[in-house]
Amino acid sequence: MIEKRAWVVLPDLLSIRVFVDTGIVRGLYERLDGRLASVFLVPRAEAAEWAGRLPDVPVLHGQDLVAADGLPDRALGRVDAWLDRRVGYHPLAIRLNYRHGFHVERMQPGHPNWMLDTDRDGPLPHRPSVERAMERWFFSARRHVPARVLETMRRECSGVVLSNVQPASAVPFLTAARRLRLPVVAHVASWDHTVGKGVISPYCDLYVVQNRVMEDDLRRYHGIDPARVRVTGWPQTDLFHRRRPRTDYDALVRALGLDPRRPLVLVAGNTPSNAPYEDVFVERLVAWWKNEARPRFQLLFRPHPRDSRWRERFAAASGEKGVAVQEASFTDLDDLATLLGHVDAVVCNAGTILLDALVGDRPAVCVLYDEGAPPGESWAAKNVVGKHYEELASSGAFYRAERFEDIVSGVQRALASPDELAGQRRRVVEQVVGEVDGSAGKRVVDAALEGLSALR
């Protein structure tokens, strides 16, 4: 008889790196006396490095589990996918945005971020009764589940922990778990996911979030009782809490071809879908630095890990002494933590990297305009108008750049007076991130074990 194990289901690379790098998967494995399997829903090649860091943990691959098992399974899967495109994942995400005013300034037909593509709204009218019916179908235990997922979970799975509860790839596992009456622990992967990254299943046994704001968001926007929510802090901050010695930073900077004795400004990129004119910005920043700032500091560009075109978009920064470009990567979070313990300033548009910089107590300049964009287009400013940015926007914890000259002045102020906004940084980190004490990952493990209480 096969011994059943809890499954930690890992749908996307951003939450995988948090669950692996902060020790959550390892902690679950040890606390469950080895009764844990990891289920990677990313392609096998992308999962390989992460699985290699967990040599003792059995590995399953989602692409094997969801593969159609015979003609009936294939036919039912196609019907389910047809329905989902019209009344499921993206239509519900877009309607949630409309209903609560999330990202409405950014939404448009054909948007490269499908959560914001109004062409994916679906054919049904915008009525509360219609949308409630759509949600009932989407979360129904009776909708199609690939046969291999259902049978393997029936035979081998005793409960599910999701590193990110919201991706579409997680839906078959949520559906199967509900049908099989297995306990489910839903980790809400980031501070912005409750307010614009789609609907969240109300049928999980326990939810894990990083702060009280997210707890309230689950109640207000997703109908989830706070009694089923645990606030743990943000596990990624565990990596920033552990201070890296200056010698580690010096070695990393040297490996990048830069001089650790000189000031360094880290310029962090956004995705092509959120910052389509970033290449023009990089070109202008490098040109200004060469002409006016070369003697004062160095530049290090860090593309977003999802930027598959980073070599093209950051080409203007290549081959210049005093300038370096890191490779876009999901697997160098320790390098980022080392940099954010010591770099002299951070320039970025939005996203988690801005919060990372504030957690690391780095002076930050937030870019709120689009260098080289045609008149009437606005991407950078719209990236920071979401509900989750309200606390950051009002915090005064970073310098705002609404034109290139503001970037120049912001960097100059950051280098001249690095502690100018230190108090504001501390306050907003406490408000948005929660407690930063190096133990958030352990609290996630504790919460997951509570949710999987049937195993104990």
Per-residue model confidence (pLDDT) at position 456: 40
Per-residue model confidence (pLDDT) at position 455: 46
Instruction: Judge whether 240 and 321 are in contact, CB under 8 Å.
Output: no
Q: Strand 59-61 and strand 399-401: pairing?
A: unpaired
Break the chain into its structural domains and give their ranges: 5-67+146-237+438-455, 71-138, 243-432
Residues 6+ apart with CB under 8 A from 62: 11, 39, 40, 41, 42, 169
> What is the pLDDT tens value at each position of the chain, 456 positions in all?
678 999 999 999 999 999 999 999 999 999 999 999 999 999 999 999 999 999 999 999 999 999 999 999 999 999 999 999 999 999 999 999 999 988 888 889 999 888 899 999 999 999 999 999 999 999 999 999 999 999 999 999 999 999 999 999 999 999 999 999 999 999 999 888 898 889 999 999 999 999 888 999 999 999 999 999 999 999 999 988 888 999 999 999 999 999 999 999 999 999 998 899 999 999 999 999 999 999 999 999 999 999 999 999 999 999 899 999 999 999 898 999 999 999 999 999 877 899 899 999 999 999 999 999 998 888 888 777 666 677 787 889 999 999 999 999 999 999 999 999 999 999 988 888 877 899 999 999 999 999 998 544
CB-facing half-sphere around the CA of 231: CA atoms within 13 A = 17
325 CA to centre of own chain? 22
Q: Homologous superfamily of 5-67+146-237+438-455 in CATH? A: Glycogen Phosphorylase B; (3.40.50.2000)
CB-facing half-sphere around the CA of 420: CA atoms within 13 A = 17
> Tokens standing for 88?
């499921």
Give bridge partners of residue 16 from the DSSP assignment. none
Q: Among all chains, which residue has been given the structure tokens 């120049």? A: 408
Q: Do domains 5-67+146-237+438-455 and 243-432 have the same CATH topology?
A: yes
Note the pTM of the prediction, 2 decimals. Answer: 0.89
132 phi-psi bin (left φ>0, alpha ψ -120 to 50, beta other): alpha
Per-residue model confidence (pLDDT) at position 113: 87
Q: Homologous superfamily of 243-432 in CATH? A: Glycogen Phosphorylase B; (3.40.50.2000)
Per-residue model confidence (pLDDT) at position 1: 64
Per-residue model confidence (pLDDT) at position 375: 86
Per-residue model confidence (pLDDT) at position 388: 65
